[in-house]
Structure 1
Amino acid sequence: MTSTVELTGTALLASARELQPLLRSSAAGHDAAGVLSAPVVDALHRHGFFGMWTPAALGGAEADPVTSLRIGQALAEADPSCAWVVGAAALATGTGGAYLGDDAVEVLFAGDRFPVVAGQGTRPGSAVPDGDGHRLSGAWSFGSGLRHAQWIHTLGVDESAGEARIFVLPVEQAELIDNWDVLGLRATASIDYTLDGVHVPSAFSHPATTETPLRGGPLFGLGIIHLALIVHSGWALGVSRRMLDELSSLVRDRAGRPGTLAESPRFHASYGELEGAWHGAHAFVHQVWGEITDALASGGRPTHDQRTRARLALHHATWAAERISGEVYQAAGTTALRAGALQMYFRDMHAGSQHFLVGAGTAEACGRALAGLADGHTWEFMTLVPPT
């Protein structure tokens, strides 16, 4: 990247807050159109959001986990789809910069702004070794942000070695399926795609579970999955925070009228409980990621316990947010039924809670680990793996 301005996590956080009015005013249009608008995408590029986790040597911010959580929350408070796209693309772009070979990085980061890499990291395709690379085939769902990307980041299994690998290739080499007709997160354009025997050079591929970067600092010792936990934790906190703020504003606006929620002790108690649930989730997320941020700063890596609690904190924050969204929807009455922020956020929250990271298996595995019933096990993505 060619820039005379040093990009930092602190600068991105300030930019996220600065862009909130634009994102709020654009969110309904994004939801209707199914993609982010050109002015918003241009603003995201101008401020460098797709370089949030790109190595500093490539012009990126290498934003630390706690700052990244705050950036994600600020964006989600303004537009959940925008926050989702930025998080997914920043992850795929940044880890490409950290883990891909030199030849790939020279191509990806040759322009005057960060590339947008998007796609899918689950449901692996088949990768057959072929010369200096692989032939990749498969069908993938939920390629988040793909309509805004120039490159695809996708998972395949090397059939000769049985190794899960991430492959990065031009979007033009895939068949994109325009099937994003969904309840929520409509503007993420998380369409499906297929590949049929596409050759991917070795420099454009890396082991899916690697925590050993070729460039970049301690942040990239987290590996892809832990960066994904940050994305979704900040998103859940931002969505639920906005819903609480919208409800309190609605109730205050109606104060003074007979029979309104502003005069209801039952509502006061319910709202207090929801605020407690949000602050509890926020505290849990920030406690564990604060510990991990400190560990990285001192040259360490997350402990097994911290890896477990980071997963559990995401699960807890997401389902606390889902509860908040349901109770806010009910309290807001017909206002939430009609088009507007509350309706959109309710739909987006229920779309986000379907993500595999926060399924029931996450809580089960974390419970086993924290109860001391998984001695010697290690985490591989969201699965506890027994010792060999």
Structure 2
Amino acid sequence: MSPTIIDAMRSGGLFRTLQPRRYGGSEAGVTEFFDSQIEIAAADMSTGWLFGVMGVLAFHLALFPAEAQSDVWDANPDALMASSYMQTGKAIAVAGGYELSGRWRFASGADYADWFMLGARVERDGVTEPVIFLVPRDDVTILPTWRAAGLRGTGSQDLAIERCFVPAHRIHGIKERFLGMSPGLEVNRGPLYRIPLPQMLLRVVSVPAIGALRSGLTALIDHNAIRTDIAGQRVAANPEVQFTVGDVAADVDAMLAVLHHGVGQLSAAAAEGRDLPLQTRMILRLQASRTADRCCHLMHRIFVAAGASGLTSDAPFGRLLADIQASRQHAANQFQPFAQSLGASLLGVETEDSLL
């Protein structure tokens, strides 16, 4: 991604959409956040992706202890963060905190990040549990490994750390997050931060596909408006093309409705100070994680309907298909385990599931 784009997004306050007001952030509603992400992704999916996966980390930092928030935002309220929640780090307890080492993959926006959130497992109270560490850029080596076929502008590089010290207040446990006991809630009391973090994380990697698909549909309509086939017939009069355009348009609208309904449920429950039932959270999770797969199939149909003339590099169809397919590869968009977990719960089979 061009630094000009990152600087424009930063100076425009986009990355501070979910930042607490006490640090000058917007503390905006999640509907506004995801609608913004769709609009940006419709212009360029990599940019929309970075807006989401970096912008949501302001939400996550708000759940860390207040001291960790001060470490980042007292010095620079516009600080950018990147993350890799993969539990590939190794942490050893030392006086006052932990010694962290490891290598992580897919840290989108790494080249522009001031801080990183990285996953590891630690032993606390005799139990080994997954946690997220907050680490400054100076302690992290960024490895230029991102050579992808799609979402090329996200710069989702590998990261490496060799024995850096992380004070105890710069960790956030997944268990305490699941139980709604995040220490940051003591200072950030707005209902926004009562929304379960996984529901946010799942959507920031699936919602951009809706924006890209919408862009593909608009491009297909424009592309076929005056195009004729090899027989000299108007492509716009082709029943298959008409069916594709109508079917995709309806599905885009349906996905937006599902997104807004789900986000509305999450926001209402947070505002009322209640937890949604676990099965409801499972349904909302599955709805989010299926989005990229659905968009991938629909974008492929658009690609086919664009015909041979859509293969030119001047046309957006190949790029959009590659970008959406790349998002489909994200671990959070592998929806099958989430469907299985929901099915098991509905069938009365007990499962342990904290990614809710």
TM-score for both structures, normalised by structure 2: 0.90
What is the CA distance between 1:375 and its match in structure 2? 5.6
Q: What secondary structure is seen at the aligned counterpart in 2 of 1:193?
A: strand
Q: Deviations over 1:114-161 (max 9, x none)?
A: 210102012331211111111111111101111111111111111453
Whole-angstrom distance in 2 between the partners of 1:141 and 1:309 = 28
What is the CA distance between 1:171 and its match in structure 2? 1.7
What is the CA distance between 1:255 and its match in structure 2? 6.6
Whole-angstrom distance in 1 between the partners of 2:196 and 2:94 = 27
Whole-angstrom distance in 1 between the partners of 2:263 and 2:278 = 13
* 1:63 lines up with 2:28 in the alignment: yes
8 A contact 1:88–1:118 mirrored in 2: yes
Match of 2:221 in 1: 248
Match of 1:174 among 135, 140, 152: 140
Match of 1:124 among 74, 84, 88: 88
AA at the equivalent of 1:156: A
Q: What secondary structure is seen at the aligned counterpart in 1 of 2:249?
A: helix
Match of 1:230 in 2: 203
Match of 1:327 in 2: 301
8 A contact 1:311–1:366 mirrored in 2: no
Structure 2 spans left out of the alignment, 5+ residues: none
AA at the equivalent of 2:222: S
Whole-angstrom distance in 2 between the partners of 1:267 and 1:320 = 19
Match of 2:193 in 1: 220
Whole-angstrom distance in 2 between the partners of 1:123 and 1:353 = 21
What is the CA distance between 1:72 and its match in structure 2? 1.2
AA at the equivalent of 2:225: R
Match of 2:41 in 1: 76
Q: What secondary structure is seen at the aligned counterpart in 1 of 2:225?
A: helix
Q: What secondary structure is seen at the aligned counterpart in 2 of 1:380?
A: coil
* 1:141 lines up with 2:105 in the alignment: yes
- In structure 2, relative to structure 1, the CA distance for the partners of 1:378 and 1:57 (3 Å cut) is farther
* 1:194 lines up with 2:160 in the alignment: yes
8 A contact 2:195–2:267 mirrored in 1: no
Match of 1:290 among 249, 252, 264: 264
Q: Larger deviation: 218-227 or 76-85?
A: 218-227
AA at the equivalent of 1:86: F
Match of 1:32 in 2: none
- In structure 2, relative to structure 1, the CA distance for the partners of 1:123 and 1:165 (3 Å cut) is closer
What is the CA distance between 1:42 and its match in structure 2? 1.7
Counting aligned pairs with the same residue, the percent is 24
Q: Deviations over 1:73-126 (max 9, x none)?
A: 111111111111111111223311x12233322221124542101020123312
Q: What secondary structure is seen at the aligned counterpart in 2 of 1:162?
A: strand
Match of 2:255 in 1: 281
- In structure 2, relative to structure 1, the CA distance for the partners of 1:175 and 1:240 (3 Å cut) is same
Whole-angstrom distance in 2 between the partners of 1:343 and 1:224 = 33
Q: Deviations over 1:310-345 (max 9, x none)?
A: 212113322220111111111112343222422211
Aligned residues: 344
Q: Which runs of 4+ in 1 moved over 3 A?
A: 374-379
**Counterpart mapping for 1:359-374 below 5 A:** 359=334, 360-369=336-345, 372-374=346-348
Whole-angstrom distance in 2 between the partners of 1:330 and 1:373 = 40
- In structure 2, relative to structure 1, the CA distance for the partners of 1:41 and 1:264 (3 Å cut) is same
Match of 1:299 in 2: 273
Whole-angstrom distance in 1 between the partners of 2:82 and 2:309 = 35
TM-score for both structures, normalised by structure 1: 0.83
Match of 2:4 in 1: 39
8 A contact 1:133–1:199 mirrored in 2: yes
* 1:264 lines up with 2:238 in the alignment: yes
AA at the equivalent of 2:46: S
Cα RMSD after superposing both structures: 2.1
- In structure 2, relative to structure 1, the CA distance for the partners of 1:336 and 1:362 (3 Å cut) is farther
Match of 2:18 among 49, 53, 67: 53
Whole-angstrom distance in 1 between the partners of 2:114 and 2:247 = 44
